Chains A and B, each alone.
Chain A
């Protein structure tokens, strides 16, 4: 018996792949079958269509559903609205997140850095719904922001911002500006952390070298720091962009009555029972992300990796 165990352990030691495979088989099955498999089956439904008369799904391969998605102006509106908002949230997070990440990576003592890490992660430890609802209260007409503007006698400023067509609304809590604020707040940690990690890897000697060679602070930022931090910015933007594309709770709580992709998927697969159209809607964020990453790669965003 011992002999058998002995030769088994010798075999396992010589055949490293055997060990890896025995450990990886469960995660591989999970990822491959349960996750990717079900996702592919769901997305595959976008090639079926709903029979308008009976309300039954017709299991025949066709492009009817996809044509329906891209030919209806209402659907196109939903797609454009979602992609534009996701892009704005991504740019906003990058602009707010980069200085914080830069400060953390280059100017803090280890103690302050740990404090900042906790401060950034802390919101993620509380419930997502609680945070979104508290924003609803903050942004509401009776909320603290309104109160603050009132006290400063600046109501006219808030009103004029809210009266801006498209992005405005009756109050911050029912407007695109409000959604933008909440999305940016919620996803900011996902932008800061990858940028911080990539800036951490830029040696200070490179910044010194740039100054030494005659580049001022602005030139050093655009020619050395930003290109080297770009993989982190791209990684962060993949998070914020895709998370915004798929979210349906913030548009539901903060938003106007106009739909976003997440809400469209939720509605079509639920009460309407139109799983093919829901699947077609789900395809869009995936396609957008693939195009985005491809363009980023073509523009050399990952060259510094």
Chain B
């Protein structure tokens, strides 16, 4: 498969802060690839290194087999959708979108045709002569997208492009972005701190923490087979038992995590009939919180002094179910549903 991007041993520091540590990453042509991590984890710095705004201290950046580490951004076939959109305030929508074509000194009707086409794709026909200040947040987002796509880049970089939009608009734009990626068949590298967004859109995800990549895998694998406690904790809701608790409660020699949807709740000892005790971990839990979340309840138990555990309980028609705080229950989950954690 054709390699769109190859990062080799990238290191970058700002003064005493090491922003990127030994980043190695290979992204295939046509992939929707997400860089996911909390703020300050280095994902945006990584994007800047790919775009060429920041030069790495060490390492090399290869885009489609071309070494670009020391090539300025305006000579890379990569375009960026910026977090704050970075639309030129003194230009209207058409001038913004046509900017990359104009600076290449292209002339004639082909420019206008390209602009018309891309404006149609992002549903902005008719807004041609508006200034960015006269557009809503969602429309500005579309202009930024059209401006980055009009030049048909080989790789599109997106830096938290949906961060400033409200939830409904964000979900709508997620679908549109995915459609545009399918339509253009270009590589998307998507920076986000929103794990839900990364899981729902990406082909593969790289999870960043403290300047390092913790894990690179498909969304399903990242979710179900997190490699360590950071990934397990960062992706979705999860409960982590450290080594001490695992030993005390379950006589198990390593830390592990369990997803809330895998946890069963029983009121009394005799309800456990039909549960094979060799296949399940069973613990006593005291309810410390119970939240209504629409389709299910999210119940948080304390199991011992160190550990808390979250469980989802589907409401299944009985929408008035409630678990009283401080009430005691039995909680159980399959041994095969846990994820053993390295750290």
Contact = CB atoms under 8 A, between A and B. Distances in A.
B74 interface: yes
Contacts of B88: 206, 209-210, 224
B100 interface: yes
B339 interface: no
Contact of B82 (A208, A214, A227): A208
B86 interface: yes
Interface stretch (A48-56, A66-74, A215-223, A258-266): A215-223
Interface string B173-187: 000000000000000
Given A203-B84, A205-B84, A208-B73, A213 B90 contact: no
Interface in A88-140: none
Chain A interface residue number, banded: 10 to 19
A244 B52 CA distance: 45
A211 interface: yes
A304 interface: yes
A211 B48 CA distance: 12
Nearest to A207: B86
B104 interface: yes
Contacts of B52: 211-212
Contacts of B99: 210, 213, 215, 223
B103 A215 contact: yes
B80 A214 contact: no
B79 A213 contact: yes
Interface in B85-120: 86, 88-90, 99-100, 103-104
A303 B131 CA distance: 11
B72 interface: yes
B51 A219 contact: no
B142 interface: no
B161 to A, nearest CB: 13
Given A214-B74, A303-B90, A209 B82 contact: yes
A214 B151 contact: yes
Contacts of B147: 213
B151 to A, nearest CB: 7
A219 B73 CA distance: 14
B86 A208 contact: yes
B82 A213 contact: no
B191 to A, nearest CB: 14
B280 interface: no
Contacts of A219: 103
Interface in A186-242: 203, 205-206, 208-216, 219, 223-224, 227-228
B73 A211 contact: yes
A211 B99 CA distance: 11
17 contacts: A203-B86, A205-B83, A206-B86, A208-B86, A209-B86, A212-B52, A212-B53, A212-B73, A212-B78, A212-B80, A213-B147, A214-B74, A214-B104, A214-B151, A216-B103, A219-B103, A228-B89
Interface of B: 51-53, 72-74, 78-80, 82-84, 86, 88-90, 99-100, 103-104, 147-148, 151
Given A208-B80, A211-B52, A213-B99, 7 more contacts: A208-B86, A210-B88, A213-B151, A215-B100, A215-B103, A216-B72, A223-B99
| Closest 8 pairs between A and B when the two form their complex, measured CB to CB | A213-B100, A209-B86, A205-B86, A215-B103, A211-B73, A304-B90, A212-B80, A211-B74
